[in-house]
Amino acid sequence: MKKIIITIDGWSSCGKSTLAKQLAMALQYVYIDSGAMYRAITLYFLRNMVDWTKEKQVHEALKNIELDFRPNEKSMETEIYLNGENVEYVIRDLIIAEKVSDVATIKAVRTFAVIQQRKMGEKKGIVMDGRDIGTVVFPKAELKIFMTADNAVRVERRFRELYSKNPNITIEEVKNNLEMRDYIDSHREVSPLKKAEDAVVLDNSNITPEQQLQIALDLVKQKL
């Protein structure tokens, strides 16, 4: 069967990765979480005290970063590795979330990530989620989805996710972080978050994950 590239872009915490994983599973495609790459780079910068306002330091640091995605043996979901270490879980911390949007504004960082993302799509049969996947990484993708959800719904979802790992977290902190990231992601100079002209908008505020998958699968069917 013909394989296509599916891109899913949208605001933070509106369910992009849930839909991307559902689609990859249903279609037997590879799922790539592009945000995990920016998070892993941020983790490296923080651990190695890289001052990312200094161009030279960023260039030097990027030379020492190797990212790859490997399937988890049990769930078969892809997980990100930074220089051979599985960092899939540490990169979800609020400490990383607070800095990642800043790091993702840096041109050299984006070029580094985009080259690798494009390589992963060479054989098609891929679902990639992020902010610039349909606009910059794969502008010719066969199916582009732009996801959105009500702010309150997004804050609640993200809070529940983070609270299970850290009960000290407050809803205010989560709300502020989401607002800040959305602002930086959509106002940066290089590859800001925006809907590709040919993307289909999917608002999942009031639908179940099963309904959202069905809508997306119908879109895939039309494209095939």
Instruction: Give the residue among 42, 16, 51 at the shortest CA–CA distance from 134.
Output: 16
Query: Does residue 148 contact residue 140 with C-beta atoms inside 8 Å?
Result: no
Pairing of strands 5-10, 143-148: parallel
101 is an interface residue for ligand DC by CB under 6 A: yes
Site string for ligand DC, 7-26 (x = CB under 6 A): -----x--------------
CB of 181 to ligand DC, least distance (A): 4
Query: Does residue 133 contact residue 7 with C-beta atoms inside 8 Å?
Result: yes
CB of 221 to ligand DC, least distance (A): 26
CB of 43 to ligand DC, least distance (A): 12
Q: Name which of residues 116 to 155 contact ligand DC (CB under 6 A).
A: 130-133
CB of 128 to ligand DC, least distance (A): 8
190 contact partners, CB below 8 Å, separation of at least 6: 105, 106, 107, 110
- Reading the block at residue 187, the tokens are 């106002």
Q: Contact positions toward ligand DC, by CB under 6 A? A: 12, 34-35, 38-39, 100-101, 104, 130-133, 181, 185
